[in-house]
Amino acid sequence: MARAHRVALLGTVVVISYVLTFFKILSVPLLDAKVADQIIPVLPWWLLVSFGSYCLWSIGMGLLTLRECPEAYNELLGEITEAKNDLRMKGVTVD
Amino acid sequence: MQGSFNSPDTHKYSVILPTYNERKNLPVIVWLLAKTFTENQLAWEIIVVDDNSPDGTQEIAKQLAKLYGEDKIVLKPRAGKLGLGTAYIHGLNFVTGDFVIIMDADFSHHPKFIPQFIRLQKAHNLDIVTGTRYRATSKPSSPDAQPGGVHGWDFTRKLVSRGANFLADTVLNPGVSDLTGSFRLYRLPVLRHIITETVSKGYVFQMEMMVRARALGYTVGEVPITFVDRIYGDSKLGSNEIVSYAKGIWVLFTTV
């Protein structure tokens, strides 16, 4: 079973239970009926907004924490020069 | 784990370097690799898989083989530009070591990280160690890791890279932070196994290798690396690559 199948299976179960709850075929345990009536219709939108925020936060944090490494660049330039000089001395063609 | 080679650590490390028009880069990367391996007393070889470069890369490779020895620099050219995935399969036919390192030949991957890869592999008996630009510590943790990073990327490049990794991470949950990087150490039989199951090409190829490795139950460690974008030549990332990358994620999502 590929990951897509597992996700689809889980998604189907969640959607079916949501629809059944929405049409009051299933009841919400441990929650006042009045409160449940108010929460159930907006739940998908809440999930959507939460997921969107999570995406933005993840990518934003990723961008912020992606480090610049100028020291690696400078070190590399030095090593390239050293390598070229050494190789030239040893008879390898270096441009 | 004990190896079977007559070297200080009983192992031998084979680097597969796919090249196409790397005449300028090849001698320097080989010099850096040779220096790293010699300083760390590791047995090594470099398999240069050249796709018939018109710029004379092979001529340079032959000169390097003369300098370092034909057992160290092994030139195995191919008839034309046949792609990255098949270059590794081709190179694997000639590997004599028990570990394989794959990396780019353009200095964006610095050989100085290889000893860290090897130490982490030995400490945890890992099947794969991969370099990551996005972490500050290694996984499993190790005291000698320095924070990773990139150089030479503008904001757009960073955003695309972060977005691409986030997308793949969310959809595929591969358990490694840098999927599109390609600086990795593999146990030889592990690489052979994964590569036979891998079907995609180009950018997606590296990602698929990691996703398959996880699905097959291999252990993967991560070492932070610094990534200096191509000093000579252009790095290629256009909208075509982005579309084929997204397609690749979808294919992996529905098949692995």
Chain A hits for B67, Cβ within 8 Å: 87, 90-92
Token representation of residue A5: 């199948």
Segment A11-31 shows an average pLDDT of 90
pLDDT tens per residue, range A39-93? 899 999 999 999 999 999 999 999 999 999 999 999 999 999 999 999 999 988 8
A76 vs chain B: nearest CA distance in angstroms? 8
Pairing relationship of beta strands B73-75 and B43-50 according to DSSP bridges = parallel
Contact call for residues B84 and B18 (beta carbons, < 8 A)? yes
CA dist B217 and B27 (Å) reads 37
Query: B231 and A80 in contact by Cβ < 8 A?
Result: yes
Of B57-61, B120-124, B245-249, give the lowest mean pLDDT range. B245-249
CA dist B16 and A55 (Å) reads 37
Quote the pTM value.
Answer: 0.88
Asked whether the predicted pLDDT for residue B201 surpasses 80, the reply is no
Kindly report the length of chain A.
Answer: 95
How would you list the strands of the sheet with B184-187, edge to edge?
B73-75, B43-50, B12-19, B99-102, B184-187, B128-132, B220-224
Place of tokens 């660049």: A73
ipTM summary value: 0.84
Comparing alpha-carbon positions, the chain A residue that sits nearest to B163 is: A59
Question: What is the reported pLDDT for B235?
Answer: 55
Token representation of residue B122: 């030995």
Q: Is B163 on the interface with A (CB under 8 A)?
A: yes
Please report which confidence band the pLDDT of residue B232 belongs to, taking 50, 70 and 90 as the band edges. Answer: low
Question: What is the reported pLDDT for B85?
Answer: 84
pLDDT tens per residue, range B137-152? 998 988 888 999 999 8
Residue B109 β-bridge partners = B227
- Phi and psi torsions of B149, nearest 5°: 170, 180
Please report which confidence band the pLDDT of residue A24 belongs to, taking 50, 70 and 90 as the band edges. Answer: confident
Q: Identify which of B63, B64, B228 has the shortest CB distance to residue A73.
A: B228
Q: What is the number of other CB atoms lying within 10 angstroms of the CB of residue B56?
A: 13
A46 vs chain B: nearest CA distance in angstroms? 19
CA dist B12 and B4 (Å) reads 9
Query: B27 and A92 in contact by Cβ < 8 A?
Result: yes
Pairing relationship of beta strands B12-19 and B43-50 according to DSSP bridges = parallel
Q: Is B175 on the interface with A (CB under 8 A)?
A: no
Chain A hits for B166, Cβ within 8 Å: 55, 58-59, 62
pLDDT tens per residue, range B218-231? 999 999 999 998 77
Q: Identify which of A4, A63, A80 has the shortest CB distance to residue B159.
A: A63
CA dist B132 and B127 (Å) reads 16
SS3 B227: strand
Question: What is the reported pLDDT for B233?
Answer: 57
* DSSP code, position A67: -
